[in-house]
Amino acid sequence: MTTITANCAPFDPGSIHTISAITHPAKIARSRVVAKPLRTASLATPRKAVCTSGSNNVVRVRDALAEPLPTEVARVAIELVGGPDDVAKLAADALRAVAPRCTGALVDALLDTERDDKLRRRLPGILAAGLPELAAWGLWRGMADPSFEVRYRCSMVLAQLAADDHLGPLDPEEVFEYVRKELLVEPDEWKARKLEEDPVIAAEAEGDVGLAHVFRVLGLVLPAEPLRVALHAVQTDDASLRGMALEYLESILPPDVRAQLWPLIDGTGETDTGMHPVVTADSASSSNEFLKKMRKVHPHIFDKTHLRNSG
């Protein structure tokens, strides 16, 4: 299996038009993916030995992970991220500090589904500090992970990259197709989706995590803030709020996506009201109108969504 950290040809970010346009990470230069040793081998070797020994001595591991990490220790530190919580926290913090120098190794680990789910779900948050182009490449492919929680964590960081203007353009149809597949689950499986309590990962204050994930992914190609507001609105008991949000969603979502989504957010069971929107630049105008109306009629909802988003 060829990994991202194998020898690579020079990578030209300007040649990428969409995230999926990169056919294989071997196009990314080794010099941009793998760190050059930051300390001599004589110092790195004992630190590596401590990390690979399976030591549960937090003090010893903390010393071994002292910043900055040499490349060979960074690779071992990735494995520690899947270990006991106290050690994993130390490893995650140390890796964030050098993430731009070991983004490729982090992506390799994320995409290796033979590794433990606990390790993989903790890696997206570290990749957030890595090289944006390569991190986005790996995170988008991480969205195909068999674990819902890994996919959920990947979408969180992709949304963060998009908000920071570090996410390249995505093909809307590619994103909608992902959402269609994400929604193709049995109702019992959908209801069973939840996040494991993990002290290494910041806690999230989201109700229906399945809906939160889907709306976040849609926000990669549709205006993100109106979708956050709409998601909060459809999860309330306020008929006026829900009605405005459903009307907005009906105006911007492709009919088939809406048909799959509606039973999850609208108790009426109706999946089509006759409107058949086409997602174009007009979505921005529709979104602006929706936000303007919500600010006028239900201004309190913005306090809640902003607090959640900043947390």
CA 93 from centroid of its chain's CA atoms: 18
Residues of the chain short of pLDDT 50, as ranges, are: 6-17, 22-44, 46-47, 49-50, 53, 268-281, 305-311
Choose among 109, 82, 77: nearest CA to 95: 77
pLDDT at 267: 52
Tokens of 7: 């020898």
Amino acid at 207: G
pLDDT at 283: 55
Exposed / middle / buried, residue 62 (Cβ in 10 Å: 0-12, 13-18, 19+) = middle
pLDDT at 128: 97
Distance CA 46, CA 52 (A): 10
pLDDT in tens, 162-190: 999 999 888 999 999 999 999 999 888 99
Cβ atoms of 128 and 161 closer than 8 Å: yes
pLDDT at 42: 38
pLDDT at 57: 64
The neighbour count for residue 9, using CB atoms within 10 Å, is 10
Cβ atoms of 180 and 256 closer than 8 Å: yes
Q: What angle do CA 256, 261, 267 make, to 5 degrees?
A: 125
E strands, the chain, where? none
pLDDT at 299: 73
Distance CA 8, CA 134 (A): 13
